Copies of this chain bind each other. A is one copy, B any other.
């Protein structure tokens, strides 16, 4: 099937891509790919006895400097107690600073310090390098499809958070 992109080929494809076998391949691809996705940052984090939770917090604080704890909570989808433990160590280690809100003194606004930004850059560079290689391998059209499927896989509230970050 060298020139197999016939009408028939496409027809069978659009019928077949929803079979359980096809779906299972997608499920397993997600499982393995996510391991690859986190492997590089994980290695760096392990050296400094941080984990993925720290990475996620750093990532989204960098993404939205001045964000509140509550806002971060809704993005990360964990309990405030869980996030708080991570933030406490990051603040204690001088990677993040927490400023009491001026309008609402209950709120804490979060910022990366220079040191925090340095770690963020290191982690991002590693993760982006793999992403860049994968994108380059796969090509622009595949990347478009990749994003389309991922977005379709999200819950409504995740899709909202994801869209909000792209503003």
Q: Which residues of A contact B (CB under 8 A)?
A: 10, 13-14, 17-18, 20, 22-37, 39, 56, 59, 63, 77, 124, 127-128, 130-155, 158-159, 161-162, 165-166
A64 to chain B, nearest CB (A): 12
A72 to chain B, nearest CB (A): 13
Q: A45 to chain B: closest CB distance in Å?
A: 15
CB of A150 within 8 A of CB of B146, answer yes
Bound state CA distance, A143 and B154, in angstroms? 15
Q: What is the interface of chain A mostly: helix, strand, loop, or mixed?
A: helix
CA distance A124 to B24 in the complex (A): 8
CA A33 – CA B149 in complex, angstroms?
9
Top 7 closest pairs, chain A to chain B, by CB: A145-B145, A142-B145, A134-B152, A33-B150, A146-B149, A137-B152, A142-B148
When the two chains form the complex, which single residue of B32, B127, B142 contacts A162, counting CB atoms closer than 8 Å? B32
